[in-house]
């Protein structure tokens, strides 16, 4: 009996061997989004309830004291999954051994600034970050760019970190995706979990195209098309689209601060689905490197519908695109081409 119990204890112990910690970098970690994001990562919202993490937090030197305070709070919270914390203003130290990089830090556009001025500031930031990741991150490091202009910042990072595979550099449009799900659920008086397969096409900007033509809602009679259940094409083609496009501005007007909690939560959603996989029959929106799918020029970081499996994303193929959608998709691609040209002119 004793030997049997010892055998059971051995099997139980074997099954519960702790995973190796994943090293997660958050830049701009002393800011609003960073402050909301790091406890979510430490609690398991990003990588799951059984995945230990080591947090590397990076911010600029003037924010060093604030960053120190964030580290103190993480220690005080005693998160069981948190196996270590690094707080630094040195990009090299921050990027050492990083498996996942969430790039929240960037230079925001201020009143009176031209787009080129903002682009120049962000190019300098993302060149430095790209160089540090290129030289010091772990193999197969996955990168999510959150800071605006997110698509173009991701493109700059990709250009200056050529050893990081292009499929490993993405930007956040999951926030817009989740906003679209939320608007549909509110309109139909259903739980947000009952709505799936909206799409955000294009840029994380006011030209993005929130598309419900392939979205469904779960009803007592099974999944039904959102357009059919809503029965309000005027709302779906106008108010719904502009509400999602301008939601960030509406939150700034209400809070006097930009989106932080929702952005942090969406960043966790993005990485979690990328690493752990999307549910069967469900896709999500990610800003990824275009391969020419749906007639979108290659060489842009553009938001597409994707499914994820075994740590890899794939663009959903074969979706029917009507004339209305085509125009919206091309308009946001045009803006991204203009941003890319502006970025390259700044580089030269």
Q: Which residues have a Cβ under 8 Å from the Cβ of 2 and sit 6 or more positions away?
A: none
Question: b/e per residue, 89-123, with b = 16+ CB within 10 A?
Answer: bebeebbbebbbbbbbbbbebeeeeeeeebbbbbb
CA distance 39 to 198: 28
Catalytic: which of 56, 129, 177, 204? 204
Is residue 204 part of the annotated active site? The answer reads yes
**Under the phi-then-psi rule, with left for phi > 0, alpha for psi from -120 to 50, and beta for the rest, what region is 282?**
beta
Closest CA to 98 of 271, 347, 332, 297: 271
Closest CA to 315 of 225, 201, 181: 201
Q: Identify any residues that bridge with 200 across adjacent strands, giving them in sequence order.
A: 210
CA distance 178 to 303: 14
**Residue 24, SS3?**
strand
Which H or E run contains 11?
helix 2-15
Backbone angles phi, psi at 159, to 5 degrees: -65, -35
How many residues are listed for the chain in this entry?
Answer: 348
**Residue 124, SS3?**
helix
CA distance 156 to 343: 8
Task: Please give the structure tokens belonging to residue 163.
Answer: 């050893």
Segments of 52-99 assigned E as strands:
53-58, 82-88
Closest CA to 285 of 219, 216, 196: 196
The single-letter DSSP state of residue 20 is P
Instruction: Please report where in the chains the tokens 């003037």 appear, as a residue.
Output: 62
State the catalytic residues: 204
């Amino acid at each position: 009996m004793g030997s049997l119990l010892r055998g059971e204890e051995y099997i139980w112990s074997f099954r519960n061997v702790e995973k190796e910690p994943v090293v997660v970098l958050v830049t701009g970690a002393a800011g609003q989004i960073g402050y909301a994001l790091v406890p979510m990562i430490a609690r398991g919202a990003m990588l799951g309830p059984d995945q230990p993490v080591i947090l590397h937090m990076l911010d600029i030197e003037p924010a060093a004291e604030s960053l120190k305070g964030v580290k103190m709070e993480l220690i005080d919270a005693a998160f069981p999954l948190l196996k270590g914390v690094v707080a630094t203003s040195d990009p090299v130290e921050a990027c050492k051994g990083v498996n996942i990089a969430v790039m929240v830090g960037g230079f925001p556009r201020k009143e009176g600034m031209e787009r080129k001025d903002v682009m120049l500031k962000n190019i300098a930031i993302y060149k430095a970050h790209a160089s540090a990741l290129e030289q010091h991150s772990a193999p197969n490091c996955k990168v999510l760019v959150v800071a605006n202009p997110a698509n173009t910042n991701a493109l700059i990072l990709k250009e200056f970190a050529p050893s990081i595979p292009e499929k490993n550099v993405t930007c956040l449009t999951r926030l817009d995706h989740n906003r679209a799900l939320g608007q549909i659920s509110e309109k139909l008086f259903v739980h947000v979990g009952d709505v799936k397969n909206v799409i955000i096409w294009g840029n994380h900007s006011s030209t993005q195209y929130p598309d419900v033509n392939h979205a469904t809602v779960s009803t007592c009679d099974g999944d039904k098309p959102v357009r059919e259940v809503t029965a309000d094409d005027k709302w779906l083609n106008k108010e719904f689209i502009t509400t999602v496009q301008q939601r960030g501005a509406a939150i700034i007007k209400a809070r006097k601060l930009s989106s932080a909690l929702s952005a942090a939560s969406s960043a966790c959603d993005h990485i979690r689905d990328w690493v752990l996989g999307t549910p069967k029959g469900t896709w999500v929106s990610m800003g990824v490197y275009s391969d020419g799918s749906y007639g979108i020029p290659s060489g842009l970081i553009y938001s597409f519908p994707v499914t994820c499996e075994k740590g890899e994303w794939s663009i959903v193929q074969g979706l029917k695109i009507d004339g209305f959608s085509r125009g919206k998709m091309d308009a946001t691609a045009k803006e991204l081409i203009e941003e890319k040209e502006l970025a390259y002119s700044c580089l030269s």
